[in-house]
Each structure stands twice: as structure tokens, then as C-alpha cells.
Amino acid sequence: MGGYEPGTEAEAADTVRAAAARGERLRLVGGGTNAGLGRPAQDEATLSARNLTGITLYEPAEMVVGARAGTPLAEVEALLAARNQMLPFEPVDYRGVMGTAGEPTIGAVAAINNAGPRRITAGAARDSLIGVRFVNGRGEAIKSGGRVMKNVTGLDLVKLMAGAHGTLGLLTEVTFKVLPASERVATLVFPGLDDARAIAALSAALGSPFELIGAAHLPAGIGGAEARTLMRLEGFSDSVDYRIGALRRLLKRYGAPEIRDGADGAALWRAVRDAAPLAEPRDAALWRISTAPTRGAALTASLAGRLDARWFYDWGGGLIWLSTPAAGDAGAEAVRAAVRAEGGHATLVRAPDAVRAAVPVFEPLSEPLMRITAGIKAAHDPGGVLNPGRMYAGV
């Protein structure tokens, strides 16, 4: 299988236009760290953004940064950190669970709408993405959005491209709003709670005025012998101290929390962000399930009797990382049934190619939504050149 590595947006457009004329299907790649996410590739060649690099815009006073799509995420984060700023949405690093190498790129962050624990307050990548440049399946270079958030009428291409997994176009440049970094970040760790009590505690904290920016629960045996319920705060040190005291009083029926600051607390949240407690065994399947936080414990309880599963919770119980044996359908029938019963959607993040080809990787769409999805794909990529079938078979 051949590959193309254009160095400019114009070269990328020429490459796609030529591929469309030949009927050649292209798999879009960045740093390769998300390889295996989505349905198995159905293509003849790769189109890489790895040479589309460089910061194109940084205005610290306006809190906005732009970069070409192949720019390493680490480069963008280092630039922001030097000015005490950060991306708001704490993107997941999939290298651990996928067993991949390379460097995550800023374009891939937008393409998969990446977001980690901060999503409960800051939203996903889509919510901070304010501008994109991309090449569609006709080989046309398109620009949408700019340097500021705007109300949009009609089809919002910026939001549409976020989470499209490269099926609508090759992102060549992205622009994000950023946030100031906090003076202090601290984590309350409540030991020994079962799933239901942990989620009740997280819900009480999230419903309080004390502004959590992380809310997770690791059951016993997941990353440690004892169950741990994590609540993260950030801000000025005096404010963090006050809110720690207030949360201790509010949640005293759940026990006395330990306080983790600095590198120790940061390591806890990196593990949650990257699903590190479920990275092994490597041959197990991995699901990412979104549901109402109050339904998370019921959903996993319904699966416990049907599957040999392990799990933990993020987003206050609204995100469940679930590991299942990869044999058969990797638990797809049971997972989809539980999601239908409790509400939400599930994505099969990791499984062998044969499983990802046989069962829906993303939550199946209703017939009306599938028609809309197919119509949008046809409008942007009428020849089915870009990442064909990556999200849904035949689209």
C-alpha cells in the first residue's frame, strides 16, 4: 500500500483530487497513535498530515492558538505552558491502551473530538475549536471559523469536522480557544466506597457550588487494591483550601478524604484520562460508554452478571471505561442492551480487526440519522475517497 505525505495544503488538495479521479480510497493518518480506533481501514493508500506542521497563530492575550494539523500536541502544550496557559479539554493519550508509538497531533485531537476528565466543566475539543482548514473529498481547500467564537447559521463546519474521524476531510489547520493554567490543583481521594455510594458522592459534589474539574471512581482492584473516589479542584490556593474544607463538611458521611497535590495528584488523573488501569491485558476489548451519571452504577451492575468485565468511571459516573474479553462479539450484544436500557451510547475503542469489522464500533444510528449522516458524507466526499467506512459501514 502506498502513501502520500504532502507538505502544504495545496499539495494535499492536489493529492486528494488526483485520488478522486482515480477512484483511489485514502486512509488519513497523523501521528499514528490512534491506529485501531474505528472500523478497520478500507483503503488503497494513506494520506498523512505529518508534514503539515508548525504554529500558525498564538495570541496569549486573546487566549487563542492555531497550528497545522500534523503539529505534535506536545509542542502546542509546551508553547501554552510557557505562558501559563493550557488547552481546556485535557485530551486522552491513546498510546497506552492502543499499544501505539509516535506523537499525538493537534489535528487528530480535533478529528476525534478528544477530551479527558475536564470535559465535565470545559467540554470536549469541539467546544473549544473555533476555526478549521481542511481538504474535502473533491480536493477543495475549505476554511471555516476564525479567531473568535461566533453564533453560526446554517451548517457549522467547525463543529461538524470535530469528531468526524477524517471521513469528511483532511484537517490541515485548527484553531482553539485556550484557558489560563491554575495556581493550584488538588484532589480529594475518598477510600473504600462502592460504585453506587461513590457516584452519589460525586453527584453531590458536582451539584455543589464548589466547582469540580474532575470526578472519577476507581473500584477496588482497578489501579489499586482499595476503591478510590477522586474529586479534583483548581484555582487560587486560598480558594482551593476553602473548597476542600467545604467539601469535607458536605461529604462527611462518605468518610475522610486524603488530599493529593502536585505530581502525585497529576499522575492519578493521567491514569484516569488515558484509561491506564485497563490498558492490560492487551488482548482484552475496551469500551467507552457515555450515560447519565446517576445510571452508571446500574449499567455496570447489569453487565456484571453477563460479562467477565472490569471498569471504572469518569465524568462523575457519566463515562464508563469497560474492559471485556475480545472473544466473540467482545460483549457488544450485552453492552448495547445495557445502553438501551439505561440510556447513552457506547464506542468500541479497542478490539481485533475481525471484531471491529463484524460489530458496530460506534453507537448504531437510527434510520433518519443514518440518512443524514450519509447525505453529509456525500456532500463533502461524493466519491467516498476519505476514510471510507471508518465510522459506519458503507458511509
The one-digit pLDDT tens for each residue of the chain (395 residues) are: 679 999 999 999 999 999 999 999 999 999 999 989 999 988 889 999 999 999 999 999 999 999 999 999 999 999 999 999 999 999 999 999 999 999 999 999 999 999 999 999 999 999 999 999 999 999 999 999 876 555 554 568 999 999 999 999 999 999 999 999 999 999 999 999 999 999 999 999 999 999 999 999 999 999 999 999 999 999 999 999 999 999 999 999 999 999 999 999 999 999 999 999 999 999 999 999 999 999 999 999 999 989 999 999 999 999 999 999 999 999 999 999 999 999 999 999 999 999 999 999 999 999 999 999 999 999 999 999 999 999 999 89
Q: What is the structure's pLDDT at 180? A: 97
Q: What is the structure's pLDDT at 147? A: 66
> Given CA atoms 31, 34, 36, 42 in this order, what sign does their dihedral have?
negative
List the CATH code of the domain at 48-180.
3.30.465.10
Q: What is the structure's pLDDT at 41? A: 82
Count of alpha carbons within 13 Å of 328, Cβ hemisphere only? 10
Q: What is the structure's pLDDT at 270? A: 98
Q: What is the structure's pLDDT at 209? A: 97
Residues 6+ apart with CB under 8 A from 154: none
Where along the chain do its domains lie? Answer: 48-180, 184-273, 276-358
Q: What is the structure's pLDDT at 305? A: 86
Q: What is the structure's pLDDT at 387? A: 96
Is domain 184-273 given the CATH code 3.30.70.260 in the classification?
yes
Q: Among candidates 269, 226, 233, 267, which has minimal Cα distance to 248?
A: 233
Q: Do domains 184-273 and 276-358 have the same CATH topology?
A: yes
Phi, psi (rounded to 5 degrees) for 4: -125, 140
Q: What is the structure's pLDDT at 1? A: 61
- The CATH class of the 276-358 domain is alpha beta
If one counts every other C-beta atom within 10 angstroms of the C-beta of residue 267, the result is 12
Q: What is the structure's pLDDT at 152? A: 52
Quote the pTM value.
0.95
Residues 111/291, Cβ–Cβ less than 8 Å = no
